[in-house]
Chain A
Amino acid sequence: MQLNKSRRPGQLRDTLATLSLGLVAANTIHVAPAAAQSTDENLSLPYSQLDAAYLSYQEANGRVSASEPTASLAIHGQGGQVLTLGLTADTVSGATPNGAVPSDLAQNFVTPLKASGSSVTVTTASGGSTVITLPPTPGQLAAAALGRMYTVPGNNLPMDRAFYDERKAGTIGWSQPLFGIDQVGASFSYSTERDYSSLTFSGRLAQDFNDHNSTLNLSVNFEDDTSTPYGGVPTPMTAMSGQWKNTSSKGRTQTDVVLGLTEVMSRRWLAQLNVSYGISSGYQNDPYRIVSVVDPVTGEPLMQTDTAGNTQVYALYENRPGSRTRESVYLDNKFDFDPVIPELSLRYYHDSWGISSQTAELTTKIKLFGSFYLTPNVRWYHQSAASFFHYYLLSDQAVPTYASSDSRLGRFTSLTYGAQLGFNLTDHSEIYVRGEYARQQGDGHPAYAVGQLRNQDLFAGIKATWFMVGYSWQFH
C-alpha cells in the first residue's frame, strides 16, 4: 500500500513547519498499521491527520470535574516515515472520596497544611475546610504546626472537597522502515501535574505481510513515575494525621509489552488482536486515601483526640502491594456495511492483585442525510475486587499488611451510553460533538456489614457525563 509516488520535494518539510506551530494535545497516539490506515488511492500514500478537541468531564453530586484541550498530529512521509506529536492540558477539581465509610454521626478529618514559612499564620483553607492548630512535633515551631480539618455530616459519603490539580502532557514519536522491517519506531512522553510526574519511552516494530493485509506489531513501553503527594508520603497503615510527613516522594516503574495482529479479513472486515503483559513495581498507593476502622458491633468509625484538643476520625492510610503484573487480551472487529459501520471490541483482563475484568463495547457509525453521521455506542464493563479490598477494618482484628477501600479496586459493573454526531466539512475534514454517560454499580450493602453500616451505601462509584467537541483534518 505504501508506494512511492510523485510528491513535491520538501512538501513534508513544509507541512511540518506549518503545522508544528499550531499544535495543541494527546497522551496516547496510535500509529495505524499499514493493513488499515486511511489512504489516498491515487497517491497510495497514507493521509496525515490533525486532530484537535476539547473535553469536558463532570461527575454527579459535586464530585470531580475536568476540562481538557487536546490535539494530535500524525504526518506520513513518502518514504514510509511517520512523525507523531501530541499535547494535552487538563484541569481537575471537585470532591473526591477519601476512602472512609459513611457514618450516622458527623466525622472530622485532618490533613497536612503547610504554612508558607515557619512563622506564617494560615487562616483560610479551600474546600470548606478550616485551619486548626496541631500539637508541634519535636523541633517544629508552634506557628507551623497547622492542619486542615473538614467535617462530613452524618449519613454522607466522606469526601475531600479541596481536590484540585492541573496536568500537562506531551508526546513525540517517529517511525520509519529500517533494516527491512516495515516500521521501526520510538516515542517519548512526559506528563506532569502538581503531585505526580511521568516519563514514558516506547519502542515499536511492525511488519506487513500477505499483500499488506496483515500487520504484526510488537511494542514495548517503559514508564518511570514519581509521586510527590501534598503533605508528604504517609506511612502505610498508620493513622491519618495533619502532620507533614518526612518522605517527600516515591517512585514507580512500569514495563508493558503488546503483541498485536491487525488483519484485513475481507473487503469489508477488519480485525485486530492484541495480547498484553505488564509489570509495575514501586509506590502504588493512593497517598490521600484512608481506610476506616470501625467498632465491630456498632459499626461506628473510631475517633481520636490529640493533645491540642482536636477530635478526628481514627483511620489508616491505605497500603497496596509494591508489585503488580497485568495480562490482557483484546479483540476488535469492524465491518463496513455501508452506510452502517459496526465495531465490536472485547477485552479480558487479569492482574496479580486478584482483579479480573471483562469489557465489551459496541460502536456503530451510521451515515445520515447530507454530510452528517451518527455513532451511538454502548460499553459494558465488569471487574472483580482486589484481594486486599476492604470497605473498612474491624477494630478487634489485626491490621492487615495490605488494605484499600478505593472503590476502583472493588467489585462493580459499569455501563456507558453515548453518541457522536459528526459533520463532514469536506471529503477530508470534519467536526463532531460527542456525549457519554457512565454509571458504576457495586454492592454498597454487603451482607457482612455491621451496626450502622447496614444502613449506609458503602459503594462510592461514580455517575459521570462527558462531552467532547472535535475537529479532524486529513491532508497530504
Chain B
Amino acid sequence: MKHRGFVRVRRAARLALALSALALLTSACASIGPKPWEKDLMARKEMSVNPYPLVAAADDHIYFSKEASSGGRGFAGGGCGCN
C-alpha cells in the first residue's frame, strides 16, 4: 500500500511538473513567434501539424498494433483488438 501511495504521489508530481512546464512555456510564448505578415511559410501545407493525416493514421495504427506504447501525437490508433 505504501509503495502504491508513493507511486501515486510520484505520478502526481510528474504531472504537476509537466503542467508547470507547459504553463511556463505558454507565458513565454507571448514574446515569441512571427508577425502576421511573416507567416507565409507557415501557411504552406508542409508546415502544417499533420499534412498527411492518412499516413500518420496508418503509421500510428501499425505501431499501436506491434508495440506496447501508444499515443503521443494524438490519441492511440485504437479501436481494434490488435493489441
Contact = CB atoms under 8 A, between A and B. Distances in A.
A196 interface: yes
Interface stretch (A140-148, A213-221, A236-244): A213-221
A349 B71 contact: yes
A210 B33 contact: yes
A25 interface: yes
Contacts of B44: 38, 336
Interface in A156-210: 167, 169, 189-191, 193, 195-196, 198, 200, 202, 209-210
| Chain A contact surface mostly | strand
A254 B81 CA distance: 13
Contacts of B13: none
A391 B22 CA distance: 40
B5 interface: no
A30 B74 contact: yes
A261 B11 contact: no
A209 B33 CA distance: 11
Contact of A51 (B11, B46, B53): B53
B43 to A, nearest CB: 4
Among B11, B32, B45, B79, chain A packs the most CB atoms within 10 A around the CB of: B79
Interface in B9-44: 11, 14-15, 18-19, 22, 25-26, 29-30, 32-36, 38-44
Interface in B47-75: 47-63, 66-75
Interface in A394-452: 408-409, 414, 420, 428, 432, 434, 436, 438, 440
A261 B33 contact: no
Contacts of B22: 259, 261, 273, 275
Contact of A266 (B18, B26, B33, B70): B33
Contacts of A211: 33, 35-36
A330 B47 contact: no
B80 A193 contact: yes
Contacts of A88: 57
A38 B72 contact: no
A409 B66 CA distance: 9
Nearest to A462: B66
Contacts of B38: 267
Given A341-B46, A386-B68, A275 B19 contact: yes
A365 B44 CA distance: 13
A41 interface: yes
A474 to B, nearest CB: 6
B54 A268 contact: no
A383 interface: yes
A169 B79 contact: yes
Interface string B1-12: 000000000010
Given A216-B26, A264-B39, A278 B54 contact: no
| Chain B contact surface mostly | loop
Given A264-B34, A274-B72, A72 B81 contact: no
A21 B53 CA distance: 20
Nearest to B75: A221
Given A274-B72, A275-B18, A327-B14, A263 B33 contact: yes
Contact of B66 (A72, A86, A464): A464
Interface string A239-276: 00000000000000010101101111111101011111
A214 B29 contact: yes
Given A28-B77, A41-B43, A266-B33, A261 B53 contact: no
Given A38-B44, A200-B79, A472-B52, 17 more contacts: A27-B57, A30-B74, A49-B53, A51-B54, A68-B58, A72-B57, A191-B79, A210-B29, A210-B30, A211-B33, A216-B26, A263-B25, A266-B34, A277-B15, A330-B72, A336-B46, A386-B68
5 contacts: A169-B80, A209-B29, A211-B35, A341-B46, A359-B72
Q: Report, nearest first, the 10 A-B pairs whose CB atoms are least far apart.
A: A213-B33, A196-B81, A191-B79, A330-B72, A198-B79, A347-B72, A349-B69, A38-B45, A28-B57, A39-B43
Interface of B: 11, 14-15, 18-19, 22, 25-26, 29-30, 32-36, 38-63, 66-83
Interface of A: 1, 25-30, 32-33, 35-41, 47, 49, 51-53, 55, 57, 68, 70-72, 74, 86, 88, 92, 167, 169, 189-191, 193, 195-196, 198, 200, 202, 209-214, 216, 219, 221, 223, 225, 227, 254, 256, 258-259, 261-268, 270, 272-278, 325-330, 332, 334, 336, 338, 341, 345, 347, 349, 351, 353, 355, 357, 359, 365, 381, 383, 386, 408-409, 414, 420, 428, 432, 434, 436, 438, 440, 462, 464, 466, 468, 470, 472, 474
